[in-house]
A and B are shown apart, each in its own frame.
Chain A
Amino acid sequence: MNQKKNQWYCLLVIISLFFIPRLGYADKWGSIIIPAGKPIQIGLGSMLSGDYASMGIDIKNGAEMAVLEKKSILGHPVILQAEDDGCGGPTSVAIAEKMCNNPLVVGVVGYMCSGGSKPASDIHNKYKVLMISPSSTAMELTSRGIPVFFRTCWNDATQARCAADFVIKNNWKKIVVLHDKSDYGQSLAHDFMNHISKNGLKILATEGLTRGDKDFTPILTKIKFMRPELIYFGGMAAEGVLLARQMKRTGIRAYFMSDDGCYTVKDFIQAGGRATNGCYVTYAKKPDAQWVKRFESCYGHCQTFSPQAYDATNILLEAVTQTAKKQTDGSLIIDKKVLRDEVAGIRYKGITGEIAFNSHGDRTGSVVVIYKVVEENGKRFFKQFAH
Chain B
Amino acid sequence: MQVEQIFRLTLPKKSILALFLIVLPFMVGNYWSQILGDIGIYIILGIGLNVVVGFAGLLDLGYVAFFAIGAYGYALLASPQFGIHIPFWLMLPVCIAFGAGFGAFLGTPVLRMRGDYLAIVTLGFGQIMRITLNNLDPLTNGPRGLLRIDPPKIGDWIIDTPIKWYYLIIAGIFFAIFVANRLDDSRIGRAWIAMREDQDTAEIMGINVLKYKLLAFSIGASFAGLGGAIFASRQGSIFPDNFSLMVSINILCLIIIGGIGSIPGIILGSIILIGLPEALRGVQQYRMLLFGGLLVIMMIFRPTGFIPSARKKIEFEK
Contact of A90 among B30, B31, B38, B135 (CB under 8 A): B38
The docked-state distance in angstroms from the alpha carbon of A49 to that of B286 is: 10
Contact with A along B154-191 (1 / 0, CB 8 A): 00000011111000000000000000000000000000
Q: Does A133 contact B (CB under 8 A)?
A: no
Residues from chain B with a CB closer than 8 A to the CB of A49 are: 284-285
A-B contact count (CB 8 A): 87
Q: Does B313 contact A (CB under 8 A)?
A: no
Q: Nearest chain B CB to A60's CB is how many angstroms away?
A: 14
Q: Nearest chain B CB to A264's CB is how many angstroms away?
A: 21
Using a Cβ–Cβ cut-off of 8 Å, how many residues does chain B contribute to the interface with A? 38
Which residues of chain A (49-103) have a CB below 8 Å from chain B?
A: 49-50, 83-84, 88-90, 93-94, 97-98, 100-102
Residues from chain A with a CB closer than 8 A to the CB of B161 are: 23, 25, 126
Q: Nearest chain B CB to A330's CB is how many angstroms away?
A: 25
Residues from chain A with a CB closer than 8 A to the CB of B145 are: 115, 118, 183
Which residues of chain B (263-301) have a CB below 8 Å from chain A?
A: 278, 281, 284-285
Residues from chain B with a CB closer than 8 A to the CB of A210 are: 131
Q: Nearest chain B CB to A246's CB is how many angstroms away?
A: 22
Q: Does A119 contact B (CB under 8 A)?
A: yes
- Of A11, A84, A101, most buried by chain B (CB within 10 Å of CB) is A101
Q: Does A379 contact B (CB under 8 A)?
A: no
Residues from chain A with a CB closer than 8 A to the CB of B29 are: 101
Which stretch, A12-20, A37-45, A292-300, A317-325, touches the partner chain B? A12-20
Residues from chain A with a CB closer than 8 A to the CB of B285 are: 49-50
- Of A16, A83, A183, A186, most buried by chain B (CB within 10 Å of CB) is A183
Q: Does A291 contact B (CB under 8 A)?
A: no
Q: Given A23-B161, A25-B161, answer yes or no on A187-B31 (Cβ-Cβ < 8 Å).
A: no
Using a Cβ–Cβ cut-off of 8 Å, how many residues does chain A contribute to the interface with B? 40
Q: Is the CB of A12 within 8 A of B22?
A: yes
Q: Is the CB of A126 within 8 A of B160?
A: yes
Residues from chain B with a CB closer than 8 A to the CB of A100 are: 30
The docked-state distance in angstroms from the alpha carbon of A380 to that of B237 is: 42
**Closest A residue by C-beta to B159:** A23
Residues from chain B with a CB closer than 8 A to the CB of A138 are: 144
The secondary structure that dominates the B interface is helix
Q: Is the CB of A118 within 8 A of B147?
A: yes
Q: Does A4 contact B (CB under 8 A)?
A: yes
Q: Does B222 contact A (CB under 8 A)?
A: no
Q: Is the CB of A94 within 8 A of B34?
A: yes
Q: Given A101-B30, A101-B31, answer yes or no on A90-B144 (Cβ-Cβ < 8 Å).
A: no
Which stretch, B11-19, B46-54, B60-68, B85-93, touches the partner chain A? B11-19
- Of B26, B144, B160, B164, most buried by chain A (CB within 10 Å of CB) is B144
Q: Does A140 contact B (CB under 8 A)?
A: yes
Residues from chain A with a CB closer than 8 A to the CB of B144 are: 138, 140, 183, 186-187
Q: Does B134 contact A (CB under 8 A)?
A: yes
Q: Is the CB of A140 within 8 A of B147?
A: yes
**Closest B residue by C-beta to A9:** B15
The docked-state distance in angstroms from the alpha carbon of A276 to that of B74 is: 45
The docked-state distance in angstroms from the alpha carbon of A122 to that of B281 is: 23
**Closest B residue by C-beta to A5:** B11
- Of B26, B143, B161, B164, most buried by chain A (CB within 10 Å of CB) is B143
Q: Given A5-B11, A12-B19, A93-B235, answer yes or no on A182-B34 (Cβ-Cβ < 8 Å).
A: no
Which residues of chain B (127-141) have a CB below 8 Å from chain A?
A: 131, 134-135
**Closest A residue by C-beta to B163:** A23
Which residues of chain B (241-281) have a CB below 8 Å from chain A?
A: 241-242, 278, 281
Which residues of chain A (250-288) have a CB below 8 Å from chain B?
A: none
What 12 new A-B contacts, CB under 8 Å, besides A12-B15, A94-B35? A50-B285, A88-B241, A90-B235, A90-B242, A93-B34, A94-B31, A94-B38, A144-B148, A183-B144, A183-B145, A186-B144, A208-B135
Pairs A–B under 8 Å by Cβ, sample size 20:
A5-B11, A8-B12, A8-B15, A11-B15, A12-B19, A19-B23, A23-B161, A25-B161, A49-B284, A83-B281, A88-B242, A93-B235, A94-B278, A98-B34, A101-B29, A119-B235, A119-B237, A126-B160, A144-B147, A186-B144
